[in-house]
Structure 1
Amino acid sequence: MITRRHVLASALAAPAILRFGPAHAATTLKISHQFPGGTIDKGDFRDRLTRKFAEEISKRSGGELVGEVYPNSSLIKTTAQFSALRKGALDLSLYPMPYAGGEVPETNIGLMPGLVSTYDQGLRWKTQPIGKALTDFLADKGIVLISWVWQAGGVASRTRPLVAPEDAKGLKVRGGSREMDMVLQTAGAAVLSVPSNEIYAAMQTGACDAGITSSTSLISFRLEEVAKHLTSGAGASYWFMLEPLMMSKAIFDKLPKNQQDIIMAVGSELEAFGRKGAQDDDIEVAKVYEKAGAKVATLDAATVGKWRDIARDTAWKDYAGKTATCANLLKLASDVAA
């Protein structure tokens, strides 16, 4: 017996079948990142986050969405991923935001030394005016922010410890962003601009004396093999990087509303996983380096304050002077209390 409900259901289903072909036809989303690959349960938490994301969007969409993860920059070179997202040539990437600073200077707000000093502060950006301003700006540049992921950082050094600004003099240091480089140069260091997956080779050859990067990268890229000293960011840090899961707006906008909603919901729910992964690695990194024979130092509030003072007078001023958007983003971010 054909009921009114059956007729309505058929009518509702028909446009979807006409538009997207068979109901079982899946949309495959390629997810790229620069970090070592693992499994959904083991390895770099950033790789695991992308695998959890892929699994969950498939489950919630009934298989209409499929995520394929490409670790180790195996699909697209590290620094090219942001541009590929903007053009619609890549679907998603878990990407260190300031890596895009050469193309879009405003993104350097994602690693402004001394601006963010706790995970709570960084994650509050999402619900504060800075969050709306940043997401609106990125959307205008062709990027949708899916998961907010913050990471504290530390320093692996092969010669001597780099804790306070005065320790930087004469060292060749990888900072991670243009603004961090400015701070290091003011402190007397020479700087090296390479993505985190190239720090090991730079330290191994002597091109780099010390690398500042996230706790997770300090572990995943095995920098303990080429370092004799670690400065941990577990207790306090002047280096917090925004490393979100981002999606091409051109690709996102083509999806039906229900699939967009699934992607945004899953992305938001994974933020707690991202925070825990980052904080767990802040603790784990000291154990890894101690086991390898490195000496571990920690930062205190006074030392972080020294770095922040330099940053305010150099990097912050320089960034704010770049564009009106930069000035506004810095002001809004500064309004978020630690």
Structure 2
Amino acid sequence: MVGSEKKRSIAALIALAAFVGLGPQSIQAAELKAAHFMPSMHPMDKGVMTPLAGDIEKATNGSLTIRVFPSGELGKGPVQQYKRVVTGVADIVFGIPDYTPKQFRKTAMVHVPGLFADGTVATNKMWDHIDLFKDEYAATKLLGLWANNPSVLITRKKPVRTMGDFKGLKVRSPNPIMAELIKAWGGIPVSMPTTEAYNAMNTGVLDAVMIGPSGIRSYKLNETAKYITTNLPSALDTFYLLMNKSSWDALDDKQKKELDNLTGRKISLKGAEEFRKAGQAGLDLAVKSKVELIEIDAAAEAEFRKAMKPALDAFIAKTSDETGVDASDIVSQLSK
């Protein structure tokens, strides 16, 4: 008797809370865990993920929130980001496709040097042709896919003005395409997460880093550099924001609608713009730190382009053979 009365009292309290407008949020509110590997001051946290958390909470009247976990708090190692979202360690992750290159062979075609002037153009092209890539993200819910500006070359001791200067340098490569070009230019490509670049430059494990200019400030590379070559015919990088499928399926229709409204092309262009601003800030910081900025002349650029063409053609052909997809056609569609 007492037990049944207690149950009726609890039910009445829940009903009252719902009536006054407190129940739906307190009982049904969902919190998503968003993981990334950068410090909390990184532009992708400050400019993309943290604003998304605020926007979705406002749009759903608090029924859906996002808690951002920076600096690998949900697991160390940026290479594991894709696995974390697929397995549900995190509900949402920011990551880099080229840390798991076999999964994203078609997305890698976006990195072909010379296709895009900047990250905003590349991001719009990816969303114009999203059907070319979406099967690579089918194990997740794709929330965002964007690009930064083409990489710069940051060197610790040696200025690079010609291809001859490049020869023999141990260079951190941002993606497989650039690794092939580094070899074609006479360098030694080193695959390494960006989070390890600072120490590798300081200790001489690396002679140089190829990275989007936003990485200068984010990873304090101005402290390790004497020179930055800004206009090599280099590749840009791509970035994703992915959601665990079960976490997506667990949302109600309104939550899904509001999250869709805030993501996709919209958040992707925001990500590209944040990288653009951060890239300029990085170059400004380098100048302030007495790092010399170098622009190669037209003759040197032509030499770099001539040397890289066979390697680039071979990379595209290899991708076609390994994926069964016409990679050259992807490049052609992206260039239109």
TM-score after normalising by structure 2: 0.82
Residue type at the aligned position of 2:219? F
Correspondence list, 1:29-44, <5 A: 29-38=32-41, 44=42
What residue is the counterpart of 1:178 in the other structure? Answer: 176
Aligned runs of 1:311-326 on 2, under 5 Å?
311-323=308-320, 325=323
Instruction: Please say if 1:137 is aligned against 2:140.
Output: no
Alignment of 1:90-105 (within 5 A): 90-105=90-105
How many Å separate the matches in 1 of 2:335 and 2:299?
18
Question: How far apart are the structure 1 equivalents of 2:113 and 2:335?
Answer: 15
Q: What is the rounded CA distance, in whole Å, between the counterparts of 1:134 and 1:89 in structure 2?
A: 24
| Gapped regions of structure 1 (runs ≥ 5) | 1-13, 39-43
1:237 positional shift:
5.4
- Mapped pair 1:281 → 2:278: yes
CA displacement at 1:69 relative to structure 2 = 1.0
Structure 2 counterpart SS, 1:208:
coil
CA distance in 1, matches of 2:143, 2:301: 30
Partner of 1:259: 255
The alignment covers a number of residue pairs equal to: 309
Letter in 1 for 2:95: Y
Change (3 A) 1:51 1:254: same
Structure 1 residue 271, shift from structure 2 partner: 3.2
CA–CA separation in structure 1 for the residues paired with 2:95 and 2:50: 15
Distance in 2, matches of 1:257 and 1:305, equals 54
Q: Does 1:73 align with 2:72?
A: yes
Q: Could you tell me whether the CA contact under 8 Å between 1:115 and 1:308 is conserved in 2?
A: no
What is residue 11 of structure 2 aligned with on the other side?
none
Counterpart secondary structure, 1:244: strand
Spell out, residue by residue over 1:235-268, the C-alpha distance to the aligned partner (whole angstroms, 9 max, x if none). Answer: x852211113222233223322322222222124
More deviation in 163-172 or 58-67?
163-172
Residue 26 of structure 1 is matched in structure 2 by 29
Partner of 2:89: 89
The CA RMSD over aligned residues, in Å, is: 2.7
Listed as ranges, the matches of 1:185-200 within 5 Å are 185-200=183-198
- Which residue number corresponds to residue 8 of structure 1? none
* Shift of residue 316, structure 1, vs aligned partner: 4.6
Report the residue type matching 1:132 in the other structure.
D
Decide which moves more: 296-305 or 95-104: 296-305
1:113 and 1:308 in contact (8 A); partners too: no
Q: Specify whether residues 162 and 248 from structure 1 end up closer, same or farther in structure 2 by C-alpha distance, changes over 3 A only.
A: farther
**8 Å Cα contact 2:124-2:269 kept in structure 1:** no
Residues of 2 paired with 1:285 and 1:300: CA distance? 22
Partner of 2:160: 162
Instruction: Give me the whole-angstrom Cα distance separating, in 1, the residues matched to 2:209 and 2:127.
Output: 32
Distance in 1 (CA, whole Å) between partners of 2:277 and 2:103 is 32
Tell me which structure has the larger Cα radius of gyration: 2
Deviation at 1:105, TM superposition (A): 3.9
Please give the per-residue CA displacement for 1:20-71, whole angstroms capped at 9, x wherever unaligned.
Answer: xx62222211111122213xxxxx2211111011111111111121111111
Once structures 1 and 2 are overlaid, which stretch shifts more, 324-333 or 171-180? 324-333
Give the letter aligned to residue 260 of structure 1.
K
Which amino acid letter does the alignment assign opposite residue 158 of structure 2?
R
Shift of the 222–30 alpha-carbon distance from structure 1 to 2, 3 Å rule, reads same
**Offset at residue 223 of structure 1 (A):** 0.5
SS of alignment partner, residue 261 of structure 1: helix
Determine the C-alpha separation between the residues in 2 that align with 1:278 and 1:300.
26
Measure, in 2, the Cα distance between the counterparts of 1:300 and 1:255.
Answer: 54
**2:332 is the alignment partner of 1:334:** yes
For 2:302 and 2:59, the matched residues in 1 are separated by 46
Deviations 1:63-119 (A, max 9, x none): 121111111222222110111222233211221221121555444335344443333
Q: Percent identity, please.
A: 22
For 1:102-117, what aligned pairs fall within 5 Å after superposition?
102-117=102-117
State TM-score, norm by structure 1: 0.81
State whether structure 2 residue 242 is matched by structure 1 residue 246: yes
Counterpart CA distance in 1 for 2:298 and 2:58 is 44
